[in-house]
Structure 1
Amino acid sequence: MKIEQIYTGCLAQGAYYITSNGEAAIIDPLRETQPYLDRLEKDDVKLKYIFETHFHADFVSGHVDLSKKTNASIVYGPTAKPEFEAIVAEDNQIFELGNVKIKVLHTPGHTMESSCFLLIDENGNETALFSGDTLFLGDVGRPDLAQKAANLTQEELAGLLYDSLYHKILPLSDDITVYPAHGAGSACGKNMMKETVDSLGNQKSINYALNQPDKESFIKAVTDGLLPPPAYFGMNVAMNKKGYDSFEEVLSHGMKALSAEEFEAAAENTGALILDTRSDKDFAKGFIPKSINIGLKGDFAPWVGAMIVDVKQPILLVTDNGTEEEAVTRLSRVGFDNVLGHLKDGFETWIKAAKETDIINRITADQFSKDYYDNSKVIDVRKESEYTAEHVEDAYSKPLAYINDWVKELNPKEHFYLHCAGGYRSMIAASILQARGYRNFTEVEGGFNAIAQTSIPKTDFVCQSKMLS
């Protein structure tokens, strides 16, 4: 028997590959299937099952394509209603895989069909728990995503999650290894550890949600401080339930190379959004007017989902040479399949064609410290927890995730400074603001990390871990 965690940092997502005696199972696979097919061929094993812990909201799973290519059965937990052929398992149902067994534990709460998969080894020992979004390391799944579908409040779903965890998971042996579906950085929980594997015994000891005195306390603890889920989540759930176009078809469209003239015509005729995936430093120096910058070297896919929202939005890409396929692939992971093509040879093609360009008014932190005065308006687009830990005195907390709400409050005649932690998020904000006609601002390169090294007055630092405890 072999277990391998396949972790994707951009999504903070863990897929799992299990083999035993010539047979394999994959749990919560990513959208692109070729790496799994290559691994199956290399190991000379047959894929028997594709286990889905639930209908994912934050990414599009590869279950449909993978099943078509391998004839493996897709397995969901009880109450799931997929619109394609799949096994909807019963609670405690056993699936045999080579010399091992996988037991379904129905654990509703995050969603109604949410299930964990318990691995029983060749000797009959319960050895591993693939806990999906039911149990994370340091946290549990948020209970507010399935409210509409289940016609339940988040408190009622949290109550179901309590029953699932305390009656089905906590009684299991301490030495069982926990393999969650997500880690730190995912929007599916609020307080996840950076580690991606742990023992159940350690989680019983340190996980705040597993140490509540009663159900009422648990409900309060897990619902307290939940931020609104990204708006694209519902669209990803729908794709995971209904199916989707093949990844190869999506990639083929996105890899269409367009000249500057073709690119310009496509933007004008289709209403496509121009997504520039270069670094914030390169983008600031010059870009196609009204482009949105979300750098590929960062939490690219989640920010695309949060900022663009509509997965059907036509997109035209500007990329660094050689990264076109990576950009299309990472977009497809969160359901943005309508990529019409990319600018051939990148932004240099636009320059050579003498097309119109724009720039962002960006200054260094040192220059900011020279220009700054007591009444300067400063907008901090970091998360609220980052802002609370330490910020420029009198700065406004306006998290990037909520830009569509706070942009309406801006006075276009009033100048402001804009920053995040390092420049990635503030450049996303700057590009959105400028695309909407706001130009009376200055973005600070290097963000608060650089500002903290200057003499600009700041609040006293408060450790974020202490804030969460």
Structure 2
Amino acid sequence: MKVEQIYTGCLAEAAYYIESEGEVAIIDPLRETKPYIDRAERNQAQIKYVFETHFHADFVSGHLDLAAKTGAKIVFGPNAKPAYEAIIAEDGQVFKLGKISIKVLHTPGHTMESSCYLLIDENGKEVAIFTGDTLFIGDVGRPDLAQHVIADLTQEKLASYLYDSLRNKIMPLSDDLIVYPNHGAGSACGKNMSKETTDTLGNQKKVNYALNPALMKEQFMKEILTGLTPPPAYFPKNVLMNIKGYESLDTVINRSTQALSPKAFETVAQELDALILDVRDAAVFAKGFIPKAINIGLEGQFATWVGTLVPDLKHSILLVTEKGKEEEAIIRLARVGYDNCIGFLEGGFEAWEKTGKPIDQVQSISAEEFSDLFKQNPELAYFDVRRRNEYLSEHVVGIENLPLETLSANMALLKKEGLNYIHCAGGYRSMIAISILKARGFDNVVDISGGFSAIKKVEKLPLTAYVCPTSLL
């Protein structure tokens, strides 16, 4: 028996490859099928099943392409109603895979079809559980996402179901089970996941607040529903793609890998009002870019930020990338449903620059320069675009919090006269924010190079953290 976790850091997503006697099951695959098919071919094995723990919100799954290419059967838990052929399993149904078995445990709560898969070895011993978004390491799946697709599925109703699922289906299982979740730290599918991507169920019973046996249902519901931030706008759209189906990724890649000369690139951008998405490193982008281009670098949580900041999945997208990164960018866009990339700039930004076409740059100052400026002029416009919880954890006294995900709705906070100084944690998000602002006509924005990480090292500025009032403890 072979079990392999295939972890994708930019989405904090874990898929699983399980093999026994030449038969393979894949659990929660990403949209690109090659990693799974290649593994099976190397082992001279056949993919028999594609198990889905639920209809994912944060990525488009690869189940349809995998089934089409390998003949594998797609399996969902009870209540699932996909618009394509799939096995809708019963609670407790067992699937044979070589000498091992996979048992379905219906665990509604994150969604109504949410299910876990219990792995049973050739001796009949339960050895692992694949928990999807029902149970994470240190956390559980948020119960508020399904209501964005089906209004009647309120977060209170799903939180109640989740409590029962954990108590009745998960907690009675053996402590030595290995827990394999669908996500780790950084995913928006939970509130406070661990950086660890696997653990024993016994240890989770000790340290995971949601598995505390003393926690009553009302307490559990209050705990799990407190502090939820709005999910990225693309989540319900990805759910619908996973339910209804989608184009083959091969079709998307073939259509999108169109090399455009600078002249053609400019023409297409103007005629289609396309979004110019520059995926180069933030520091490289700052030195020179196409006016009105938006920078979301591939090296960060690229797909998540695209999904958060670009509301229309069908928006035409033109890419500016480093050489050889074009297909990677297209695949990572498609992972979250952005299938309408219409081409990329042939030769990259250097080709654009050589034509003598207009370019733009980002003004920046060092953390040391910022420190001196802030002490002399604390009344100027300074903005911290980190998430609210990061800001509350620690920030420079006097700097206003303007989380990147709320930028479009709060541009009125920026000064039209004078300069606006912006920082995030390390520079990735501040460059996204500045590129958006410049595209909207704000040329008076300055990046604080190195972000809060660099600012802290200066040791000249007063820092503070939010202190919970005693009445709330």
Instruction: Please confirm whether the aligned pair reaches a TM-score higher than 0.5, indicating the same fold.
Output: yes
Q: Please give the alpha-carbon distance, in whole angstroms, between the structure 1 residues aligned to 2:394 and 2:414.
A: 23
1:397 and 2:397 correspond:
no
Q: Which residue of 2 aligns with 1:164?
A: 165
Q: Please give the alpha-carbon distance, in whole angstroms, between the structure 2 residues aligned to 1:118 and 1:177.
A: 10
The Cα shift of 1:309 comes to: 2.6
Q: Is the contact made by 1:277 and 1:295 (CA closer than 8 Å) also made in structure 2?
A: yes
Q: Please give the alpha-carbon distance, in whole angstroms, between the structure 2 residues aligned to 1:166 and 1:308.
A: 39
User: Aligned-residue CA RMSD in angstroms?
Assistant: 1.5
Q: Which amino acid aligns with 1:197?
A: T
1:240 and 2:263 correspond:
no
Q: Which residue of 2 aligns with 1:24?
A: 24
The Cα shift of 1:457 comes to: 2.3
1:444 and 2:443 correspond:
no
Name which of 418, 430, 436 aligns with 1:432: 436
Q: Which residue of 1 aligns with 2:3?
A: 3
Name which of 329, 346, 352 aligns with 1:350: 352
The Cα shift of 1:71 comes to: 0.9
Q: Is the contact made by 1:11 and 1:299 (CA closer than 8 Å) also made in structure 2?
A: yes
1:181 and 2:182 correspond:
yes
Q: Please give the alpha-carbon distance, in whole angstroms, between the structure 1 residues aligned to 2:293 and 2:145.
A: 31
1:191 and 2:200 correspond:
no
Equivalent residues in 2 for 1:61-76 (5 A)?
A: 61-76=61-76
Q: Which residue of 1 aligns with 2:94?
A: 94
Name which of 437, 441, 463 aligns with 1:459: 463
- Equivalenced residues, count: 465
1:77 and 2:84 correspond:
no
Distance 1:257 1:180, change over 3 A: same
Q: Is the contact made by 2:414 and 2:420 (CA closer than 8 Å) also made in structure 1?
A: no
1:264 and 2:231 correspond:
no
Q: Which residue of 2 aligns with 1:332?
A: 334
The Cα shift of 1:414 comes to: 4.9
198-207 or 305-314: which moved more?
A: 305-314
207-216 or 122-131: which moved more?
A: 207-216
Q: Which residue of 1 aligns with 2:381?
A: 377
The Cα shift of 1:461 comes to: 5.5
Q: Please give the alpha-carbon distance, in whole angstroms, between the structure 1 residues aligned to 2:455 and 2:422.
A: 12
Q: Is the contact made by 2:371 and 2:461 (CA closer than 8 Å) also made in structure 1?
A: no
Q: Is the contact made by 2:174 and 2:202 (CA closer than 8 Å) also made in structure 1?
A: yes
266-275 or 454-463: which moved more?
A: 454-463
Q: Please give the alpha-carbon distance, in whole angstroms, between the structure 2 residues aligned to 1:402 and 1:440.
A: 19
Structure 2 residue matching 1:65: 3-state secondary structure: helix
The Cα shift of 1:149 comes to: 1.4
Moved over 6 A (4+): none
Structure 2 residue matching 1:119: 3-state secondary structure: strand
Structure 2 residue matching 1:203: 3-state secondary structure: helix
Q: Is the contact made by 1:128 and 1:176 (CA closer than 8 Å) also made in structure 2?
A: yes
Q: Which amino acid aligns with 1:260?
A: P
Q: Is the contact made by 1:390 and 1:458 (CA closer than 8 Å) also made in structure 2?
A: no
Distance 1:89 1:150, change over 3 A: farther
TM-score (norm 2): 0.96
The Cα shift of 1:41 comes to: 1.1
Q: Please give the alpha-carbon distance, in whole angstroms, between the structure 1 residues aligned to 2:411 and 2:92.
A: 50
TM-score (norm 1): 0.97
Q: Is the contact made by 2:364 and 2:449 (CA closer than 8 Å) also made in structure 1?
A: yes
CA deviations 1:294-318 (Å, max 9, x no partner) are 0111111111111113211110000
452-461 or 395-404: which moved more?
A: 452-461
Q: Which residue of 1 aligns with 2:50?
A: 50
CA deviations 1:339-373 (Å, max 9, x no partner) are 11110111001001111111112111122123222
Distance 1:456 1:415, change over 3 A: farther
CA deviations 1:398-417 (Å, max 9, x no partner) are 11111122123334225321
Q: Please give the alpha-carbon distance, in whole angstroms, between the structure 2 residues aligned to 1:443 and 1:223.
A: 35
Structure 1 residue matching 2:92: 3-state secondary structure: coil
CA deviations 1:432-456 (Å, max 9, x no partner) are 0111111222111100111112254
Q: Please give the alpha-carbon distance, in whole angstroms, between the structure 2 residues aligned to 1:113 and 1:460.
A: 44
Q: Please give the alpha-carbon distance, in whole angstroms, between the structure 1 residues aligned to 2:410 and 2:36.
A: 43
Q: Which residue of 2 aligns with 1:109?
A: 109
Q: Which residue of 2 aligns with 1:34?
A: 34
Q: Please give the alpha-carbon distance, in whole angstroms, between the structure 2 residues aligned to 1:124 and 1:307.
A: 48
CA deviations 1:363-410 (Å, max 9, x no partner) are 111221232222122110011121112111111111111112212333
Q: Which residue of 2 aligns with 1:154?
A: 155
Structure 1 residue matching 2:49: 3-state secondary structure: strand
Q: Please give the alpha-carbon distance, in whole angstroms, between the structure 2 residues aligned to 1:105 and 1:310.
A: 36
The Cα shift of 1:118 comes to: 0.5
Q: Please give the alpha-carbon distance, in whole angstroms, between the structure 2 residues aligned to 1:426 and 1:295.
A: 11
Q: Which amino acid aligns with 2:220?
A: F
CA deviations 1:174-199 (Å, max 9, x no partner) are 00000000000000001100011100
Distance 1:94 1:463, change over 3 A: farther
Q: Please give the alpha-carbon distance, in whole angstroms, between the structure 1 residues aligned to 2:35 and 2:444.
A: 47
Q: Is the contact made by 1:277 and 1:296 (CA closer than 8 Å) also made in structure 2?
A: yes
Structure 2 residue matching 1:79: 3-state secondary structure: coil
Q: Which residue of 2 aligns with 1:60?
A: 60
Name which of 208, 216, 223 aligns with 1:214: 216
CA deviations 1:112-170 (Å, max 9, x no partner) are 10000011110111111000000000000000001241613211110000000111100
Q: Which residue of 1 aligns with 2:343?
A: 341
Runs (5+) with no aligned partner, structure 2: none
Q: Please give the alpha-carbon distance, in whole angstroms, between the structure 1 residues aligned to 2:11 and 2:445.
A: 31
Q: Which amino acid aligns with 1:62?
A: G
